[in-house]
Amino acid sequence: MNLPKENHLSQAAFSAGSGPVLRWKRILDVGVILLALPLLVPLMAVVAVLIRVVSAGPVLFKQERIGYLGRRFMCFKFRTMFVGVDASVHQGHLCHLMNSNTPMTKMDSQGDPRIIPLGLLLRSSGLDELPQLINVLRGEMSLVGPRPCLPYEYDRYLPWQKERFASVPGLTGLWQVSGKNRTTFVEMVQLDIKYAREKSLWFDLKILLQTIPALVTQVWDARRSRKTPSGSVRTETLLSKSHPVSPYSFRKPAFAEVVRAERQGHLNMEGNKPKL
């Protein structure tokens, strides 16, 4: 896939996601949710009860995200982490992925002590994102679209990468059904831009149909990674020109190293421009 040429987002680029296009997406979103409601309501109720049983604290987790045209909104999810855990380690991990050519594997794929019991299953299956249907009904998200990013992630995007915000963010999308955690950050942005430029009713329907097989593969990959012996887990090395950092793997002892590297400035917090 060819990288899009670097440019600042123009009003023309954003106009592709407005008007009649958003109208048909809105009809599709509401129609699918209404059809699936008899299944979704009891499923979400079961998930909510399970979270209350295994972990003290609220069932829902809300977080500020960046959506269409760079607008901020509060995104809802089922809580899959213990209350009060340190979120800075995720910021360091994400910055590393944005500045490297490594697959966008999640930290919990190799064991994350912050995750509640059953949390990994909820995350790998996508069940934790079901409350985002509230965001869809509110018009802040769509069923299909790019992943809504965090504010500190948005601040590090290069100008050409921000074209992915020319489409309403979604629960699933072209990136999610095209490999997701097996792709790099740049590949994710490329796929999101491709969708923003080519979205159509049939494209959305195709992605929706591909979502279930993609989720099955994702759950299988998560189970397989958990069974991988610790000695064979692939490690990544955080490097800067003057401050090498020891290799680490994303298991429990690793989080202190990631946080320490981030706080000492060993992580390159500025996005590297890819070769065009």
Cβ proximity of 64 and 73 under 8 Å? yes
CA-closest candidate to residue 249, choices 238, 233, 268, 262: 233
pLDDT digits (tens, 9 = 90+) for 82-117: 998 887 778 888 888 898 888 888 776 667 889 999
Cβ proximity of 262 and 121 under 8 Å? no
Token duo for residue 29: 């979103």
Please tell me the predicted confidence (pLDDT) of residue 93.
84
In this prediction, residues 20-29 reach a mean pLDDT of 83
By the 10 Å C-beta count (0-12 exposed, 13-18 middle, 19+ buried), 134 is classed as middle
In this prediction, residues 63-90 reach a mean pLDDT of 92
pLDDT digits (tens, 9 = 90+) for 115-146: 999 999 999 999 999 999 999 999 999 999 99
In this prediction, residues 242-260 reach a mean pLDDT of 37
Least confident of 5-9, 35-39, 162-166, 255-259: 255-259
Phi-psi region of 118 (alpha: psi -120 to 50; beta: other; left: phi over 0): left
In this prediction, residues 235-247 reach a mean pLDDT of 33
Please tell me the predicted confidence (pLDDT) of residue 156.
94
Residue 250 to residue 97: CA distance in whole angstroms: 13
How many other CB atoms are found less than 10 A from the CB of residue 103? 16
pLDDT digits (tens, 9 = 90+) for 178-222: 988 889 999 999 999 999 999 999 999 999 999 999 999 888 887
Residue 269 has pLDDT above 60, yes or no: no
CA-closest candidate to residue 135, choices 161, 170, 165, 159: 170
Token duo for residue 42: 């009891």
pTM of the model: 0.75
